[in-house]
Amino acid sequence: MDSKMGQVKLSSEGKTARLVFPADFRISGAKAFMATVARVMRKKPEALILDAAALERVDGAALQATVVAWRAMKNAGIAVRWENCPASLVGGARLLGLASASGIDP
């Protein structure tokens, strides 16, 4: 999946999986993101890193998808954490009141 096309990229580092967000992560990439999350849950890694270093634009639908993914990982017993959250992601999540539910604000 190419990040420039609005799709997330999954990589594995031992028992830790890394999910790298693209620069434009909006409603159009939400479906592929949820599919990737489902594949991670099947592999059952010990930990999942959500890397948002390249994320520039995000919308409400994408944030709702991250909330769903975060709750699913927690329910599956996978340790999940955010890395390199940009201001656009944090500001959007706080604006919609989803920062805590998505794990962006611990």
Partner 1 sequence: MITPVQKLRSHSGRLPLLMLYLALPWLWAVWIVPWWVSLVALILVPVAAAMIVVAVFPAPLASRRASDDIQLSDAQIEKMREASSGLHNLLERWSTLSRNTGVNLESARQQVDDVILHSEAAVLEITNSFVGVTRKTRTQMEYALSLLQQAKVPGGNAAQKNEDLSLPEYIRASEAMLKSLTARLLHFSETSLELVQRQERVREQTRRIDDLLDQMTSLAGQVGRFALSTSAMVQGSRRDDFTNMADKVRGLSQAANDLSREVRQSLEGIKDEMSGAHTALNNMAREARTAAQQTIAEVEPLGKAMLAKNKQVADILDRINVAGNEIQQDINQIIIAMQFQDIIQQKLERLKTPVFTQVLDALRSLSDETRFLNQRINPKLLDVSGMTKTGPFRVARSGAVSTASTPEEQPTPAAPKLPGESSGKIELF
Instruction: Point out which residues bind partner 1 (CB under 8 A).
Output: 26-28, 58-61, 63, 91-92, 95-96
Nearer to partner 1, 21 or 40 (CB): 21
Structure tokens at 12: 């594995």
Q: How far is the CB of 51 from partner 1 (least distance, A)?
A: 22
**Cα–Cα distance measured from residue 67 to residue 69, given in angstroms and rounded to the nearest whole number:** 5
Q: Are 34 and 69 in contact (CB under 8 A)?
A: yes
Residue with Cβ nearer partner 1 (27 or 101): 27
Which lies closer to partner 1 via its Cβ, residue 35 or residue 79?
35
Give the integer Cα–Cα distance in Å for 21 and 52: 5
60/105 Cα distance (integer angstroms) = 17
Q: Please report how close the Cβ of residue 88 comes to partner 1 at its closest, in angstroms.
A: 10
Shortest Cβ 96–partner 1 spacing (Å): 6
Nearer to partner 1, 37 or 89 (CB): 89
Are the beta carbons of 26 and 59 closer than 8 angstroms?
yes
Q: How far is the CB of 13 from partner 1 (least distance, A)?
A: 32
Taking the C-alpha atoms of residue 3 and residue 39, their distance in angstroms, rounded to an integer, is 18
